[in-house]
Amino acid sequence: MNVCVIGSGGREHALCFKLKQSLKLKKLYCMPGNAGTEEISTNLNIDISNFEKVYEKIKEHQIDLVIVGPEIPLVHGIVDFLEDKKIRVFGPNKKAAQLEGSKIFMKDMCKKFSIPSAKFCEVRSIQEAEETLKNFQEPIVVKSDGLAAGKGVTICETKEKALEDIKGILSGKFSTSSRVIIEEFLKGEEASYFVITDGKNFKQIGTAQDHKRIGENDTGLNTGGMGAYSPSLIIDKPVEEKIINKIIQPTIQGMAKLGCKYKGILYAGLMIDNGEPKLIEYNIRFGDPECQVLMLRLEDDLIDLIQNCIDEKFNNNELKWSKNPCVTIVAASKGYPEKFEKLKEIKNLPKNEKKYEQIFHAGTIKKDEKIFSNGGRVLNSTVSMKDLRTARDRALDLLDKIEWENKYYRRDICWRAIK
Ligand code: AMP
Ligand code: GLY
């Protein structure tokens, strides 16, 4: 069958890499893709926010299955749009996508179905915020309701700083929403738990931990993620059982009860403290860069898995995973997540010939047979080996050899797991 992946990040390159291994695949497309996806698929360079254009391309290339990578088109209803036109598409519909698209929707759902999560309150004015803050201890978490590319959450050491951030959100700092919530600060270690669900049943599709901060020792500004590893070491069997029983199952059942049946990848961002998981947030798609480590470890056929999900035909079999752990290190343009320069030539890229080690591309572009940086996060050096230390050494070695004027990456990814 002909398959098209929508998106242009490292996540989408990793999905393309995994789809290429399927015997069911005839032709692979990526919309709009990057220089990495161009090597293994056909890039369709269009604006993916224009759903009519997306549909035109799907018809033109006789695409049988569409897989949506990023959250923005999902929240804007690309699945509903394409399903209306009888296109087979993988991902949650617009109603279900509110789990990521609206933090207030997600928190209300947690409350309704008793899913463990931080205490929260929506506030509609500064006066209300001042009153509400009396019931919260510092540090205080302030969140904008809508999508904000990772910038919608601040952890405030003082109530004054919280009020300042609340003011900003109420006055329209984020175009997606001016609704705001105040949340209790959760202590513990963060981990990600991924399932794929057909709306009734689900399969675990890996665990991972990522590093959100730009600097080594997890310091500096928050980013989309500077590296990740899988599996997560803090999600052992007892913790996993709690995640499933207290968080995942009630969510899948709860969403169905709310009339928002959830189909697709469900990514739970968790805080785990003393073996007790609490839900920080839901994402409605694979994480980036977490997807990169999961796709290198997954041994099942991704097309089969997605087809069975769409057709609501999940059985109880667990997915097969490589025993070897996997690490990905993100190489970014120096200056990211603030100001950085683009269009720096990248030389000496390895050939991506081995299944257990891949340089997945994110912000890259090919011009005149040369490859240039074209974004903040640019490459993901992803390696699966017998242990995390060996894998990380190899991933660093691959990046060290790449010549590119502005490359920046952390050398300490998975430090918690490599003591
Ligand atoms: P989010 O955009 O919801 O993923 O939040 C971004 C990051 O903020 C999370 O990965 C956590 O590190 C942190 N965070 C969000 N909510 C809380 C909370 N209630 N307590 C502690 N940290 C939080
Ligand atoms: N790596 C975090 C995310 O994809 O949301």
Q: What is the distance of C-alpha 306 from the center of its chain?
A: 17
- Ligand 2 center to 362 CA (angstroms): 13
CB 359 within 8 A of CB 350: yes
Among all bound ligands, the one having the nearest atom to the CA of 150 is 1
Q: Convert the pLDDT of each residue in 26-48 to its tens digit.
A: 999 999 999 999 999 999 999 99
Summarize the confidence of residues 108-124 as an average pLDDT. Answer: 96
156 CB under 6 A from ligand 1? Answer: no
What is each CA distance from 404 to 71, 380, 400, 401, in whole angstroms?
30, 14, 10, 9
Q: Are strands 89-90 and 65-68 parallel, antiparallel or unpaired?
A: parallel
Does 222 score more than 90 pLDDT?
A: no
* Dist. CA 417–CA 183, nearest whole Å: 29
In this structure, which residue's CA is closest to atom 2 in ligand 2? 287
Q: Tell me the H-state helices in 47-155.
A: 51-60, 71-75, 78-84, 98-101, 103-112, 126-133
- Residue 283 CB–ligand 2 contact under 6 Å: yes
Question: Is the Cβ atom of 225 under 6 angstroms away from ligand 2?
Answer: yes
Q: What is the number of residues in the chain?
A: 419
Q: Is the CB of 153 under 6 A from ligand 1?
A: yes
Residue 6 Cα to ligand 1 midpoint, Å, equals 27
**3-state secondary structure at position 240:** helix
Distance 288 CA to ligand 2 centre (A): 5
Which of 117, 155, 276 has the most ligand 1 atoms within 8 A of CB, as the residue to mutate?
A: 155
Tell me the H-state helices in 348-412: 388-401
H or E segment to which residue 319 belongs: none
Task: Name the closest-CA residue to atom 3, ligand 2.
Answer: 287
Query: CA of 3: how far to CAs of 25, 31, 90, 225, in Å?
Result: 7, 11, 11, 27
Q: Whose CA is nearest to atom 9 of ligand 1?
A: 280
Q: What percent of the chain has pLDDT over 70?
A: 100
Rounded to an integer, what distance in angstroms lies between the CA atom of residue 241 and that of residue 252?
15
What is the number of the ligand 1 atom nearest to the C-alpha of 183?
19
Question: Which ligand has an atom closest to residue 152 CA?
Answer: 1
CA distances to 28, 274, 364 from 369, in Å: 21, 52, 12
Q: What is the pLDDT of residue 150?
A: 72
Q: Return the bridge partners of 6, or none.
A: 31, 68
Most ligand 1 atoms within 8 A of CB, residue of 280, 281, 282, 285 to mutate: 280
Mean pLDDT in residue range 262-275:
96
pLDDT at 398 over 90: yes
Q: Is 141 in the pocket of ligand 1 (CB under 6 A)?
A: yes
Would the CB of 71 count as within 6 Å of ligand 2?
no
pLDDT per residue over 65-76, tens digit each? 999 999 999 999
pLDDT at 2 over 80: yes
Region 406-412: what's the mean pLDDT?
A: 97
State the average pLDDT over residues 97-126. 95
Q: Is the dihedral of CA 180, 183, 185, 188 positive or negative?
A: negative
Instruction: Establish whether residue 186 lines the binding site of ligand 1, counting it when its CB lies within 6 angstroms of any ligand atom.
Output: yes
What is the rounded average pLDDT of the residues 212-217? 95
142 Cα: distance to centroid of ligand 1 (angstroms): 9
Q: Answer whether 281 contacts ligand 1 (Cβ < 6 A).
A: yes
DSSP-derived 3-state class of residue 51: helix
- Name the one residue in this structure whose structure tokens are 């890039």: 43
Using one digit for the tens of pLDDT, what is the confidence trace for 148-203?
877 789 899 999 999 999 998 888 888 877 889 999 999 999 899 999 999 999 99
Confidence label for 253 from pLDDT (cuts 50, 70 and 90):
very high
Q: How far is ligand 1, taken at its centre, from the CA of residue 405, in Å?
A: 33
Give the mean pLDDT of 55-71.
Answer: 98
Q: Report the mean per-residue pLDDT for the chain.
A: 95
In tens, the pLDDT along 279-334 reads: 999 999 999 999 999 999 999 999 999 999 999 999 878 899 999 999 999 999 99
CA–CA dist 149, 12 (Å, integer): 17
Residue 338 confidence (pLDDT) above 90: yes
Q: Residue 419: which pLDDT band, with cuts at 50, 70 and 90?
A: confident
- Ligand 1 atom nearest to 186, measured from its CA: 20
Nearest CA to ligand 2 atom 4: 287
Pocket flag, ligand 2, residue 288 (CB < 6 Å): yes
Give this prediction's pTM: 0.95
Range 10-37 average pLDDT: 98
- CB within 8 A of 160, min separation 6: which ones? none
